[in-house]
């Protein structure tokens, strides 16, 4: 007989499928156009407001673009709040006159199209270094010690990931304090720091005068004035012909060379920028800091996992939340997880250890708090539930060393190794909880049938979400990150009755797209998914249709009365999506986006065969 070693297959979808973000828990949040806003009328100082938003995994309000500001003014007008002033993250503290959103080296410059000053800033008595917003959407500089209301903004799925600085439609990563390398090394590091499967990351190239101003201003706020930074230009191919890495010619009119380039010694062929915004040429082997650049992410991946809360990632029977926004101390992180009915990450199996290591590699810029903490009394490491940690599952990074006797909490690095660290340092963190094993994703409706169990998503009928038949088909796939969603395909009378009953609760003359079409052969109506075909004779209630009255009515909608009609596929309508319930298979082939990343964990030395489900993202 054959001894078959079992294979545990975990499919991790990381394919850039996007869902609408959920606002943080708690009352008072207002959602608009991908962002969530909290209007607090509690009065406090700027630093207190900044910390308060951080406790909510959000930030004091910021505008990265003119459209951000317009979106917020729209929300503000809808709130009908008058004679109020709120703290924003705007400040020039420590860099007088250079206003930024936030006050770190990674803060974004506040450009003219994002800030409308209210006859300001005037910096009365040289004490007004923080920006407050009025109900008209204009800003004034105020004394940071004054007490005002404040505005928090939560945008987990837009812009730049934490650690990157946004300006306009680009994100920038400035090398950390000890991260120096050659020009070639900097180029490779930037490429390896790719944050989106849809866009490359590269050594910064400066393409507009506005961008030049932005980078120069950001560099001027760095604390070490002697720093120099690699950017993506060189004349390695032809002496004096300076080009960016993509071959584009450098616009010399935008660069202040400051008596450079001089190719000293005949070996200076790579370009760098100084903290004062001037440029120089240097040997490509010189060790320097660097600036990476990537386009802003229109919508960061937010995974809607079966059996998990919105925006959590599932693996096995657990759900995980990688909190990369607000940073907390270890205890604050533990409390934040507990408020979500979860706990800080704890590693209890080898499979989980391997999986976590794989996922943390996607967050190259981060270390996260785990639930690991040290009891000096018995010199033992525990998890937050006070279970002793199995240190065979904890891969230390030449640690723990309890430096200065103050490192009693365990963080996990991007390569999956652990460090002991001061519990009072603010860091991102990972929460975990048990999955609920719900059959359908959040927002989907389960069918009552036990024989052919499906989930349905019925879009709303607003103008904003209407789509053509082809767009609707794509949207159904994108709603589920393993691409298994499809337009409605009715297979039996019970399913038809169930859908008809659902639509009766949504009276509209608009209609919803289904997968039914005769695009291939006029008069032969089939579903766009082969595994649902053929259509059962007499099942579809056509209501004296199809008649192809327009000469190009090749796609079918269903109306709230349950009747079908053939219409032009280019018409914009609502849509109904369908998917197999979790754990149920229609016999369709597994479709995996070419951008999907998957991870195989091989488990050996067992003489029986186990079957494991693939966990859809």
Instruction: Decide if 389 contacts 290 (C-beta within 8 A).
Output: no
| 445-580 topology per CATH | Mannose-Binding Protein A; Chain A (3.10.100)
Q: How many CB atoms lie within 10 A of CB 436?
A: 12
- DSSP letters spanning 196-249: BTTB--EE----SHHHHHHHHHHHHT-S-TT-EEEEEEE-SSSTT--EETTSPB
Mean pLDDT of 318-347: 84
147 three-class SS: coil
Instruction: Count the residues in the chain.
Output: 617
Read off the pLDDT of residues 26-38 as tens digits, 9 standing for 90 and up.
557 787 765 788 8
Instruction: Decide if 427 contacts 411 (C-beta within 8 A).
Output: yes
- Looking at residue 115, its pLDDT comes to 82
Q: How many CB atoms lie within 10 A of CB 237?
A: 10
- Looking at residue 159, its pLDDT comes to 58
Mean pLDDT of 145-163: 73
- Looking at residue 26, its pLDDT comes to 54
pLDDT surpassing 70 at residue 228: yes
pLDDT band at 532 (very low <50, low <70, confident <90, very high): confident
Those residues whose C-beta lies under 8 Å from the C-beta of residue 464, and which sit 6 or more positions away, are none
Instruction: Decide if 405 contacts 412 (C-beta within 8 A).
Output: no
Count of alpha carbons within 13 Å of 126, Cβ hemisphere only? Answer: 3
Q: How many CB atoms lie within 10 A of CB 568?
A: 16
pLDDT surpassing 70 at residue 122: no
pLDDT band at 590 (very low <50, low <70, confident <90, very high): very low
pLDDT band at 582 (very low <50, low <70, confident <90, very high): low
What's domain 313-434's superfamily in CATH? Mannose-Binding Protein A, subunit A (3.10.100.10)
- Looking at residue 583, its pLDDT comes to 46
Read off the pLDDT of residues 235-245 as tens digits, 9 standing for 90 and up.
999 999 999 99
- Looking at residue 497, its pLDDT comes to 92
- Residue 131's nearest CA partner among 80, 64, 61, 69 is 61
Q: How many CB atoms lie within 10 A of CB 317?
A: 11
| 29-154 topology per CATH | Mannose-Binding Protein A; Chain A (3.10.100)
Instruction: Decide if 59 contacts 32 (C-beta within 8 A).
Output: no
- Looking at residue 302, its pLDDT comes to 39
What radius of gyration do the chain's Cα atoms show?
A: 28
Read off the pLDDT of residues 45-92 as tens digits, 9 standing for 90 and up.
998 888 888 767 678 888 866 767 777 888 877 776 666 788 998 888
> For the chain, what is the mean pLDDT?
76
Mean pLDDT of 252-266: 86
The better pLDDT of the pair 305, 398 is held by: 398
Q: Is the pTM of this model over 0.75?
A: no
Q: Which CATH class is domain 165-295?
A: alpha beta
- Looking at residue 236, its pLDDT comes to 93
**Least confident segment among 175-179, 507-511, 553-557:** 175-179
Mean pLDDT of 248-271: 88
In whole angstroms, give the CA distance from residue 297 to residue 413. Answer: 24
Mean pLDDT of 562-586: 81
- % of the chain beyond a pLDDT of 90: 24
- Looking at residue 588, its pLDDT comes to 32
- Looking at residue 226, its pLDDT comes to 56
> Which of 66-70, 444-448, 568-572 shows the highest mean pLDDT?
568-572
pLDDT surpassing 90 at residue 313: no
Q: List every span in the chain annotated with CATH 3.10.100.10.
A: 29-154, 165-295, 313-434, 445-580
The better pLDDT of the pair 118, 187 is held by: 187
pLDDT band at 113 (very low <50, low <70, confident <90, very high): low
The better pLDDT of the pair 556, 608 is held by: 556
pLDDT surpassing 60 at residue 610: no
């Amino acid at each position: 007989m054959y001894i078959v070693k079992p294979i545990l297959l975990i499919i991790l979808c990381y394919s850039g499928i996007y869902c609408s973000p959920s606002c943080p828990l708690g009352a008072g949040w207002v959602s608009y156009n991908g962002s969530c806003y909290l209007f607090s009328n509690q009065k406090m100082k700027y630093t207190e407001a900044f910390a308060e938003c951080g406790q909510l995994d959000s930030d004091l309000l910021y505008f990265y673009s003119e459209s951000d500001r317009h979106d917020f003014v729209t929300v503000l007008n809808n709130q009908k709040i008058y004679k109020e002033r709120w703290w924003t993250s705007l400040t020039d503290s420590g860099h007088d006159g250079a206003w930024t959103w936030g006050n770190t080296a990674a803060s974004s410059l506040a450009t003219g199209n994002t800030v409308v000053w209210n006859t300001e800033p005037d910096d009365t008595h040289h004490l007004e270094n923080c920006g407050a917003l009025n109900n008209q959407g204009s800003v004034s500089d105020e004394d940071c010690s004054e007490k005002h209301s404040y505005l928090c903004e939560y945008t987990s799925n837009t812009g730049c990931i934490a650690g990157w600085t946004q300006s306009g439609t680009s994100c920038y990563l400035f090398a950390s304090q000890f991260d120096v390398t050659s020009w070639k090394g900097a180029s490779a590091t930037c490429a390896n720091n790719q944050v989106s499967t849809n866009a490359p990351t590269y050594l910064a190239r400066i393409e507009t005068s506005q961008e030049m101003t932005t980078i120069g201003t950001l560099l001027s706020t760095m604390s070490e004035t002697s720093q120099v930074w690699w950017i993506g230009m060189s004349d390695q191919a032809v002496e004096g012909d300076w080009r960016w890495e993509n071959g584009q010619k450098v616009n010399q009119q935008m660069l202040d060379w400051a008596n450079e380039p001089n190719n000293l010694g005949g070996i200076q062929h790579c370009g760098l920028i100084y903290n004062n915004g001037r440029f120089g040429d240097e040997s490509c082997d010189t060790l320097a800091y660097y600036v990476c650049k990537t386009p802003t992410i229109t919508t960061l991946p937010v995974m809607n996992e079966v059996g998990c809360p919105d925006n959590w990632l599932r693996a096995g029977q657990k759900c995980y939340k990688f909190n990369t926004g607000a940073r907390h101390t270890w205890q604050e992180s533990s409390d934040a997880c507990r408020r979500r009915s979860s706990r800080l990450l704890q590693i209890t199996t080898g499979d989980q250890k391997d999986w976590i290591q794989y996922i943390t590699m996607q967050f190259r810029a981060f270390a996260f708090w785990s639930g690991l903490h040290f009891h000096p009394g018995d010199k033992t490491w525990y998890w937050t539930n006070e279970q002793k940690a199995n240190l065979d599952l904890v891969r230390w990074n030449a640690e723990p060393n309890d430096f200065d006797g103050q490192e009693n909490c365990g963080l996990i690095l991007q390569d999956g190794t652990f460090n002991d660290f001061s519990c009072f340092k603010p860091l991102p963190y990972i929460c975990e909880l048990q999955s609920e094993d719900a059959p359908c994703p959040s927002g989907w409706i389960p069918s009552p049938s036990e024989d052919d169990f499906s989930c349905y998503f019925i879009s709303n009928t607003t103008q904003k979400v209407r789509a053509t038949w082809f767009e609707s088909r794509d949207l159904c796939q994108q709603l589920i990150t393993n691409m298994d969603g499809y337009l409605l395909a009715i297979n039996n009378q019970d399913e038809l009755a169930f859908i008809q009953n659902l639509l009766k609760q949504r009276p509209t003359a608009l209609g919803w797209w289904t997968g039914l079409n005769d695009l291939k052969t006029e008069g032969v109506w089939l579903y766009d998914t082969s595994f649902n075909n053929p259509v059962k004779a007499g099942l579809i209630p056509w209501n004296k249709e199809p008649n192809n009255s327009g000469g190009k009515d090749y796609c079918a909608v269903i109306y709230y009365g349950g009747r079908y009609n053939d219409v032009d596929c280019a018409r914009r309508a609502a849509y109904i999506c369908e998917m197999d319930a979790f754990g149920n298979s229609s016999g369709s082939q597994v479709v995996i986006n070419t951008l999907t990343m998957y991870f195989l964990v091989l488990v050996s030395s067992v003489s029986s065969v186990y079957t494991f489900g693939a966990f859809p993202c």
